[in-house]
């Protein structure tokens, strides 16, 4: 007997287009979900406030078996563009539209700081609150530190297998029963934190010099 086909809705919470690390992680999740067992659709958040989501898009989210949110961390929380989608989805459900309560929800949070265990907690709590409010089945999160570095190094063999284990855990959990508990995964960059800090300081120094120059000009 073949397993029933699951409808998987992959939500890209980044507005950076093809440059986005979040998009790369979303594609990694998608690749691990076999096409024979999963009917996949991707929703990318809207970059303009005037653009609203169609009823078909929101209905597809509401009827999916699996929702995977992949997003960058903005100010320790969700990007406003993703929050707009959650607001519209919440309104859509409150209006009485049908919602599949068996839906499993996962989050992949991509933050710029090397230690995701210190920064991503509140964003994951928001996603848990979202599931609790709508009676959805929250599963677990993958919290990735310094996403762009992880994207660059993820193909190097034997460096760090946490990301691969975490992404495979989503694929396995989609097909498994909802009874088992899976803890959140924390993926750290393989480049040492002090090197990442130095790179960031160089950018910030450049920015600070420009700030001082602009202030001088404003005063003149």
Taking CB under 8 A as the rule, does residue 158 contact another protein?
no
Taking CB under 8 A as the rule, does residue 15 contact another protein?
yes
Residue 33 Cβ, how far from another protein at the closest point, in Å? 26
Taking CB under 8 A as the rule, does residue 138 contact another protein?
no
**Whole-angstrom Cα distance, residue 89 to residue 78?**
15
Residue 90 backbone dihedrals phi, psi, to 5 degrees? -60, -45
**Whole-angstrom Cα distance, residue 5 to residue 39?**
7
Taking CB under 8 A as the rule, does residue 72 contact another protein?
yes
Residue 85 Cβ, how far from another protein at the closest point, in Å? 8
Buried-state track 42-71, b at ≥16 Cβ within 10 A, e below 16: ebbbbeeeeeebeeebbeebbebbbbbbbb
- In the bound state with another protein, the residue whose beta carbon lies nearer, of 7 and 119, is 119
Residue 62 backbone dihedrals phi, psi, to 5 degrees? -70, -25
- In the bound state with another protein, the residue whose beta carbon lies nearer, of 35 and 214, is 214
Residue 128 Cβ, how far from another protein at the closest point, in Å? 8
**Whole-angstrom Cα distance, residue 162 to residue 187?**
6
CA-nearest of 75, 74, 84 to 11 is 84
Summarize as ranges the residues that interact with another protein (CB under 8 A).
Answer: 14-16, 20, 45-50, 72, 74-81, 83-84, 86-87, 90, 112-113, 115, 118-119, 121-122, 125-127, 129-130, 132-133, 203-204, 206-207, 210-211, 214-215, 218
């Amino acid at each position: 007997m073949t397993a029933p086909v699951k409808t998987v809705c992959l939500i890209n919470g980044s507005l950076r287009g093809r440059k986005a690390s979040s998009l790369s992680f979303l594609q990694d999740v998608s690749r691990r979900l076999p096409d024979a067992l999963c009917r996949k659709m991707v929703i990318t958040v809207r970059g303009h406030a005037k653009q609203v989501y169609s009823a078909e898009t929101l209905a597809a989210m509401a009827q999916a078996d699996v929702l995977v949110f992949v997003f960058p961390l903005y100010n320790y929380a969700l990007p406003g563009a993703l929050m707009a989608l959650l607001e519209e989805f919440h309104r859509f459900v409150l209006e009485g539209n049908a919602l599949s309560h068996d839906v499993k929800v996962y989050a992949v949070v991509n933050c710029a700081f090397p230690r995701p265990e210190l920064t991503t907690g509140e964003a994951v709590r928001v996603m848990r609150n979202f599931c609790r409010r709508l009676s959805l089945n929250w599963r677990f999160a993958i919290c990735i530190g310094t996403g762009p570095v992880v994207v660059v190094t993820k193909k190097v063999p034997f460096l760090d297998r946490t990301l691969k284990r975490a992404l495979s855990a989503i694929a396995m959990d989609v097909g498994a029963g909802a009874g088992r508990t899976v803890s959140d995964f924390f993926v750290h960059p393989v480049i040492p934190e002090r090197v990442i800090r130095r790179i960031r300081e160089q950018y910030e120094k450049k920015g600070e010099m420009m700030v001082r120059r602009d202030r001088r000009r404003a005063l003149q």
